[in-house]
A and B are shown apart, each in its own frame.
Chain A
Amino acid sequence: DAGVTQSPTHLIKTRGQQVTLRCSPKSGHDTVSWYQQALGQGPQFIFQYYEEEERQRGNFPDRFSGHQFPNYSSELNVNALLLGDSALYLCASSLAQGVISVTQYFGPGTRLTVL
């Protein structure tokens, strides 16, 4: 049973650039959530996608956007990168039951460094 996978593992970008991170959910899951984890902090919720739509969003600017594909995989896009965007980006998948989303399972993360 495949778990949550993310790519790439590591990424280095410069300020002002754009980045796309990818996530494949656990087999059988249809909901994807994205989190940002700065060094020494707990993960912070960015947004959640279900049925190819953003269902809930945390306190992140519009530079952060996402997409979910028909196969339930998801992308996180960050535009106009800032130094402060350097973090571990985590994807979590879950199975929605109607409008209900239960236990989230996390991928290994993508380490983004902005220089």
Chain B
Amino acid sequence: DAKTTQPTSMDCAEGRAANLPCNHSTISGNEYVYWYRQIHSQGPQYIIHGLKNNETNEMASLIITEDRKSSTLILPHATLRDTAVYYCIVRVALGSSNTGKLIFGQGTTLQVKP
């Protein structure tokens, strides 16, 4: 599985958009980009995933560059409850024998401030 690089920490003002970057320059063609977040001492929460097209759901938007070497998670209107550690994970997609594990890095600690 390809490795990811994320900033250690970021701040965002409440009500503003939070843009969390992730670099995955060694991503392979059959690998998806997944985002999870973890609020203190809770289990990780699935946010969104994508292969090459931009994706949007009720929680966030995922923008993947055309070369797929980086992506950005966007929380359109951050609230104090969005304060968490955000993990960007690259994961082998369908059809591979290595489909079980998620490899977590250190993630980005997002602090939403009033």
Contact = CB atoms under 8 A, between A and B. Distances in A.
Interface of A: 4, 33, 35, 41-45, 48, 55-56, 58, 88, 90, 92, 97, 99-109, 111
A109 B94 CA distance: 27
Interface string B86-114: 01000000110111111111110000000
Contacts of A92: 43-44, 102
B107 to A, nearest CB: 6
A48 B102 CA distance: 11
Contacts of B87: 42
Interface residues of B, number: 23
B43 A107 contact: yes
Contacts of A99: 97, 99
A43 B107 CA distance: 11
Interface string B59-70: 000000000000
Contact of A45 (B36, B43, B94, B102): B102
Interface of B: 34, 36, 41-46, 49, 87, 94-95, 97-107
B49 A56 contact: no
A43 B102 contact: yes
Contact of B104 (A44, A88, A107, A108): A44
Given A42-B107, A100-B94, A100-B95, A56 B43 contact: no
B28 to A, nearest CB: 16
Contacts of B103: 45
19 contacts: A33-B100, A42-B104, A48-B100, A56-B98, A56-B99, A58-B101, A90-B43, A90-B44, A92-B43, A92-B44, A92-B102, A103-B49, A104-B102, A106-B45, A106-B46, A108-B42, A108-B43, A109-B42, A111-B41
A104 B87 CA distance: 14
A4 B94 CA distance: 23
Contacts of A42: 87, 104-107
